Amino acid sequence: MTTLRVVHYLNQFFAGIGAEDKADMPPGHRDGPVGPGRLLQQALGDRGEVVATVYCGDNYAAEKSGAVDEIVDLVAKSRPDVVIAGPAFSAGRYGLACGEVTLRARERLRVTAVTGMHVDNAATEVYRTRLHIASTQRTAAGMADALAIMARLALKLASGAPLGPPAEEGYVPTGRRVFEMAEEPAPLRAVEMLLRKVRGEPYTTEWPVPRYHRVAAAPPLGDLAKATIALVTTGGLVPAGNPDRLESGFATKWLRYSIAGADTLPPERWQSVHGGFNTSRINEDPHRVVPLDVARELERAGVIGRLHPEFFSTTGNTSVIPTMRRFAHEMAGELRAAGVDGVILTST
């Protein structure tokens, strides 16, 4: 039996380098398992050997251009058969790094790659349809269980054996549909499920429905004529040429642009980079997604008190809810600090 060569990716904390004071640490390499890697080695048994540990600070991985390529370069030097990243539990920056390292290693090195994180980690929603993500607890208290699942998934994927359902194998649902024959027809299964529910017994639905966080509506503005209003869009409006490289889908950032002293958005200077629909109408008239022209008219007429001197923009296409929730918190915090009373939010 061939022993698989495994490279383990960790952040600076789990690699034993330091906490937030070392979050800017560039990628590094150590031979053999480090920290949690020792538990990973136990879980792999004699079927896999952790030949190296690659680590990087969370800030460096998240903010430094080309950081993931640097990490994967170090991973490649150990000639792995398998790459295992994390687990990241509920840590957002670490989760995003683990997801991107796993994805890039699989695509570039053509190896089996697995990561692990809590289902509510923002990175889970970003990568769950593209990776196998072991479902973990929120905190490192679940380290041993998480690494056991990750090791089992990696070994099974490396062997070419098909994975079973997520609930049985311990990974986050990927959204893929796999058809199989059931022992009982659908009506009987549905009735049995209903009876279990009525009796208060445990049951598992065959079609889980997404549950979205409800946001209570804000109270109306008291005096609009004295209010400061901001313009925000998920329509992906950016300066021509997209100099800040806003993504057309799966947005990882939101941007701000000055409209101080401007009454219009000339089409030759602005464009929408939103994917998934024909943007030609917006590009003909950017006010269709950022209504600066009408807002200025309302400001001059005294209907609104003042227009905020910047508009915020991101892309809503295929965006994941945890990321959009983060954008909303960040935008709202800045708008409150600037004394903004209300927002006109446009979508596509």
pLDDT of residue 175: 77
Tell me the mean pLDDT in the region 281-300. 96
CA dist 327 and 316 (Å) reads: 11
324 pLDDT tier (thresholds 50, 70, 90):
confident
- Strands annotated E in the chain: 4-11, 28-31, 48-56, 82-85, 112-117, 133-135, 228-233, 237-239, 255-258, 270-272, 306-313, 342-346
Please answer whether residues 89 and 137 qualify as being in contact, where contact means their C-beta atoms are separated by less than 8 angstroms: yes
- Transcribe 221-285 into DSSP letters: PS-GGG-EEEEEESB-EEETT-TT---SSS----EEEE-TT-S---TTTEEE--SSS--HHHHH-
Distance from C-alpha of 131 to C-alpha of 119, rounded to nearest angstrom? 13
CA atoms within 13 A on the CB side of 150: 37
Residue 174 has pLDDT above 90, yes or no: no
Q: Is 70 left (phi over 0), alpha (psi -120 to 50) or beta?
A: alpha
pLDDT in tens, 32-56: 999 999 999 999 999 999 999 999 9
Percentage with pLDDT > 90 across the chain: 73
Q: Express each pLDDT in 159-171 by its tens digit.
A: 999 888 888 899 9
Please give the model's pTM, rounded to 2 decimal places: 0.63
Mean pLDDT of 148-155: 96
Whole-number pLDDT of residue 179: 74
Give the pLDDT band of residue 203 (cuts 50, 70, 90). Answer: confident
CA–CA dist 226, 95 (Å, integer):
43
Domains, the chain, in order of start with CATH, read 4-169 (3.40.50.2300), 224-346 (no CATH)
pLDDT of residue 177: 73
Highest-confidence segment of 17-26, 107-116, 158-167: 107-116
* Predicted pLDDT of residue 277: 82
